[in-house]
Amino acid sequence: MSSPIDIDTLPYFNPNIDRRVAIITGGNSGIGFYTVLHLYLHGYIVYIASRSKSRCLKSIKELEYRASQMRLLDNGRSQHQHHQGANGTSTGGEENERSFGEVHYLEMDLSNLQSIVTAVETFKLKERYLHLLINNAGAMALPYSKTIDDFEIQLQTNFISPFLLTLKLLPILERTSDAFPQIEPRPRVIYLSSSGHQFAIRYFNLKTSLDYRPNFVLTWIRYGVAKTAGIHFMKMLALRNPKVLCVSVHPGLVMNTNVFAYWTNLPIVGIIFWCFFQIFAWLFGVTSEQGANEVIRSSLNPYLSVEENNGKYFGLNGKELQPSKVADNMDYAARTWIWTVHELSKRGFITPGA
């Protein structure tokens, strides 16, 4: 098997010469935190879409500190040979001269559709172009509840809101693609799915609420349904919008992030879940940073092309994975698209180009 791409060899940008802009949802913790860190190190202007200003600003401080520590370490290392590429990009070997990007907070609560519309308007006042959208934020295996938009919480957080956000930002991604036809990596949308999408293998139906007993089992199926719908979304978007590369990513099993917090914080049994997750992590898990590396590979690899890779699903070491039969089924994908557009329009949310 070929070895995975070292993310250090992926393009670095000098934001004073080549301004590359990214939005990532939920970049304040877990996999998202390390994804932002590496985009920042690669010179990206990153907007962290987060529902908590205080958590987000704290994480920005932390990542700026880490980046400066990493630079200090680099400075201590022996000098490498310099290579300067076109358009202000560089590829490895010149750590001391690389520019960091910028990191900004963008207020957004995925459990409130109006907040997405507002965030997109705010973003548009600040930036003309967008090169990368990472739909990272997610919620897993929560008890059944509904958002103020009357969607099940996991479905909205993991799928409906990323759908609305992406379609609202698509005109800007397309404008970026048109304005810079030669740039690599091409503008792209990354969706964090999960191997857990397979839980939906026999129960895929967005119309049913899946609010049945035993709820502690059904909640995993709701997660699977949402993450399957996300894969459908990337496949449909790839078909409909050939200017933008759209891929789904499974980042690996990262057992120490907050996505497991509901289970590990349960009174008494929480400790059992915690032990179970730790053992699982030891056997099969990867770190948050390794998980983020998968996202960075899909985001920055200039060799992923719209022609060959649009709509694909990637896993560990940048390897293409086969999603479940339900996730791979284009009839289901089309139904997912139509149902979502209809449900959003019923609530007064128009999806441009849909």
Ligand X SMILES: NC(=O)c1ccc[n+]([C@@H]2O[C@H](COP(=O)([O-])OP(=O)(O)OC[C@H]3O[C@@H](n4cnc5c(N)ncnc54)[C@H](OP(=O)(O)O)[C@@H]3O)[C@@H](O)[C@H]2O)c1
Footprint of ligand X (CB under 6 A): 25-26, 28-32, 50-52, 55, 108-111, 136-140, 157, 192, 194, 250-251, 253-254, 257-259
CB 155 within 8 A of CB 225: yes
Q: Which is nearer to ligand X, 48 or 306 (CB)?
A: 48
Q: Which is nearer to ligand X, 11 or 285 (CB)?
A: 285
CA distance 145 to 125: 34
Rounded to a whole number of angstroms, the minimum distance from the CB of residue 331 to ligand X is 25
Rounded to a whole number of angstroms, the minimum distance from the CB of residue 29 to ligand X is 4
- Exposed/middle/buried for 104, CB within 10 Å: 0-12, 13-18, 19+? middle
- CB neighbours (10 Å) of residue 297? 22
CA distance 58 to 55: 5
CA distance 1 to 4: 9
Rounded to a whole number of angstroms, the minimum distance from the CB of residue 39 to ligand X is 15
Rounded to a whole number of angstroms, the minimum distance from the CB of residue 16 to ligand X is 29
- Exposed/middle/buried for 4, CB within 10 Å: 0-12, 13-18, 19+? middle
CB 346 within 8 A of CB 151: no
Q: Which is nearer to ligand X, 257 or 293 (CB)?
A: 257
Q: How far is residue 349 CA from its own chain's centroid? A: 22
193 catalytic? Reply is yes
Rounded to a whole number of angstroms, the minimum distance from the CB of residue 22 to ligand X is 15
CA distance 321 to 332: 19
336 bridge partner residues: none
DSSP secondary structure string for all residues of 306-333: HHHHTT-EE-GGG-B----HHHH-HHHH
Active-site hit among 50, 177, 193, 299: 193
**Directed axis angle between helix 30-41 and helix 288-300, to 10°?**
50
Rounded to a whole number of angstroms, the minimum distance from the CB of residue 320 to ligand X is 17
191 catalytic? Reply is no
Q: Which is nearer to ligand X, 157 or 340 (CB)?
A: 157
Q: How far is residue 328 CA from its own chain's centroid? A: 20
Q: Which is nearer to ligand X, 153 or 306 (CB)?
A: 153
Rounded to a whole number of angstroms, the minimum distance from the CB of residue 138 to ligand X is 2
CA distance 102 to 100: 7
Q: Which is nearer to ligand X, 29 or 176 (CB)?
A: 29
Residue 167, CB-side half-sphere exposure with 13 Å CA sphere: 21
CA distance 139 to 219: 11
Active-site hit among 168, 227, 235, 312: 227
CB 328 within 8 A of CB 198: no
CA distance 247 to 156: 19
Active-site hit among 12, 223, 313, 332: 223
Q: Which is nearer to ligand X, 95 or 109 (CB)?
A: 109
Q: Active-site residues: which are they?
A: 193, 223, 227
